[in-house]
Structure 1
Amino acid sequence: MNIKRFGSIAAIAIAGAVVLSSCAANEGGSGESAAPTSSSGTDYSKLSGTLTGSGSSAQQTAEATWAAGFQNVASGVTVNYSPDGSGAGRKNFISGAADFAGSDAALKDEELSGSFDLCNAKAIDIPVYISPIAIAYKIDGVSDLTLDAKTIAGIFSGKITKWNDSQIAALNDGVDLPDANITVVHRSDDSGTTQNFSEYVSANASDVWTEAPSQTFPYQVGDSAKGTSGVASAMASASNAITYIDDSGAGDLDKAKLMVGDKATEISAEGAAKVVADSETVSGREDNDLAIDINRKDTAEGAWPLVLVSYAIACQEYKDSAKGELVKGYLDYVVSKDAQDAAAKEAKSAALSTDLAEKAAKAVASIK
Structure 2
Amino acid sequence: MKLQRNGRTKALAIGAVAVVSSLTLAACGSDNNTPAASTTTSAASGTSASAAGADCGSGQLLGAGSTAQANAVTQWVKDFQAKCPGVTVNYNANGSGAGITSFESGKVAFAGSDAALKPADITATQAACPGGQGIDLPMIGGPIAIGYNLPGVTGLILDAPTLAKIFNGKITKWNDPAIKALNPTATLPGLAIQTFHRVDGSGTTANFTAYLAATAASDFPYAANKLWPAKSGQSANGSAGLAAQVKKVAGSISYFELSYATSGNISTAKIATGATAPVDATAANASAAAADAPVVGTGADLAIKLNYATKADNAYPIILVTYEIACDKGNKAATLPALKAFLNYTVSDAGQQSVASLGYFPLPAALAAKVKAGIAALA
What TM-score comes out, normalization by structure 1 length?
Answer: 0.87
Question: What is the one-letter code of the residue matched to 1:304?
Answer: Y
For residues 365 and 142 of structure 1, do their structure 2 counterparts lie closer, same or farther at Cα, with a shift above 3 Å needed? same
Uncovered stretches (5+) of structure 1, i.e. residues with no partner: 1-8, 27-31, 36-41
For residues 300 and 182 of structure 1, do their structure 2 counterparts lie closer, same or farther at Cα, with a shift above 3 Å needed? same
2:270 aligned residue: 257
Q: Cα distance, 1:46 vs. partner?
A: 4.8
Q: 1:316 aligns with which of 319, 324, 328?
A: 328
2:225 aligned residue: 214
8 Å contact kept, 1:17–1:82: no
Q: Cα distance, 1:13 vs. partner?
A: 3.1
Question: Does residue 116 of structure 2 align to residue 106 of structure 1?
Answer: yes
For residues 33 and 356 of structure 1, do their structure 2 counterparts lie closer, same or farther at Cα, with a shift above 3 Å needed? farther
Q: 1:49 aligns with which of 53, 59, 64?
A: 59
Equivalent-residue separation in structure 1 for 2:143 and 2:27 (angstroms): 29
Equivalent-residue separation in structure 1 for 2:148 and 2:246 (angstroms): 8
For residues 275 and 55 of structure 1, do their structure 2 counterparts lie closer, same or farther at Cα, with a shift above 3 Å needed? same
1:338 aligned residue: 350
Q: 2:210 aligns with which of 179, 195, 199?
A: 199
Question: What is the one-letter code of the residue matched to 1:58?
Answer: A
Question: Does residue 311 of structure 2 align to residue 295 of structure 1?
Answer: no
1:122 aligned residue: 133
1:65 aligned residue: 75
- Describe the superposition over 1:84-115 as per-residue Cα deviations: whole angstroms up to 9, x where unpaired: 11011001001101110000111111121332
Q: 1:12 aligns with which of 21, 29, 34?
A: 29
For residues 319 and 349 of structure 1, do their structure 2 counterparts lie closer, same or farther at Cα, with a shift above 3 Å needed? closer
Question: What is the one-letter code of the residue matched to 2:140?
Answer: Y
Structure 1 residues 173-252: aligned runs within 5 Å: 173-250=184-261, 251=263, 252=265
Equivalent-residue separation in structure 2 for 1:133 and 1:57 (angstroms): 12
- Describe the superposition over 1:118-149 as per-residue Cα deviations: whole angstroms up to 9, x where unpaired: 44311110011201000011102111100000
Question: What is the one-letter code of the residue matched to 2:268?
Answer: K
For residues 255 and 301 of structure 1, do their structure 2 counterparts lie closer, same or farther at Cα, with a shift above 3 Å needed? same
Work out the number of aligned pairs and report it: 343
Equivalent-residue separation in structure 2 for 1:254 and 1:64 (angstroms): 25
Equivalent-residue separation in structure 2 for 1:297 and 1:248 (angstroms): 23
Question: What is the one-letter code of the residue matched to 2:326?
Answer: A
Q: Cα distance, 1:33 vs. partner?
A: 9.2
8 Å contact kept, 2:53–2:86: no
Equivalent-residue separation in structure 1 for 2:246 and 2:34 (angstroms): 24
Q: Cα distance, 1:318 vs. partner?
A: 2.8
SS at match of 2:290: helix
Judging by fraction of residues, say which structure has more helix.
Answer: 1
8 Å contact kept, 1:148–1:259: yes
For residues 312 and 168 of structure 1, do their structure 2 counterparts lie closer, same or farther at Cα, with a shift above 3 Å needed? same
SS at match of 2:284: helix
SS at match of 2:221: coil
Q: 2:296 aligns with which of 282, 288, 306?
A: 282
Q: 1:161 aligns with which of 166, 172, 185?
A: 172
8 Å contact kept, 2:33–2:62: no
Equivalent-residue separation in structure 2 for 1:271 and 1:299 (angstroms): 12
1:95 aligned residue: 105
What TM-score comes out, normalization by structure 2 length?
Answer: 0.85
Equivalent-residue separation in structure 2 for 1:17 and 1:60 (angstroms): 17
Q: Relative contact order (C-alpha < 8 Å, sep 6+): which is higher?
A: 2
SS at match of 1:242: strand
Equivalent-residue separation in structure 1 for 2:53 and 2:287 (angstroms): 31
SS at match of 1:265: coil
Equivalent-residue separation in structure 2 for 1:16 and 1:248 (angstroms): 24
Equivalent-residue separation in structure 1 for 2:150 and 2:34 (angstroms): 34
Equivalent-residue separation in structure 1 for 2:225 and 2:257 (angstroms): 17
Question: What is the one-letter code of the residue matched to 2:302?
Answer: L
Question: Does residue 156 of structure 2 align to residue 142 of structure 1?
Answer: no
Equivalent-residue separation in structure 1 for 2:45 and 2:295 (angstroms): 32
Identity %: 38
Equivalent-residue separation in structure 2 for 1:16 and 1:159 (angstroms): 41
SS at match of 2:63: strand
Equivalent-residue separation in structure 1 for 2:27 and 2:131 (angstroms): 26
Question: What is the one-letter code of the residue matched to 1:321?
Answer: A
Equivalent-residue separation in structure 1 for 2:56 and 2:170 (angstroms): 58
SS at match of 1:267: coil
Uncovered stretches (5+) of structure 2, i.e. residues with no partner: 1-25
Q: Cα distance, 1:236 vs. partner?
A: 2.2
Equivalent-residue separation in structure 1 for 2:327 and 2:123 (angstroms): 14
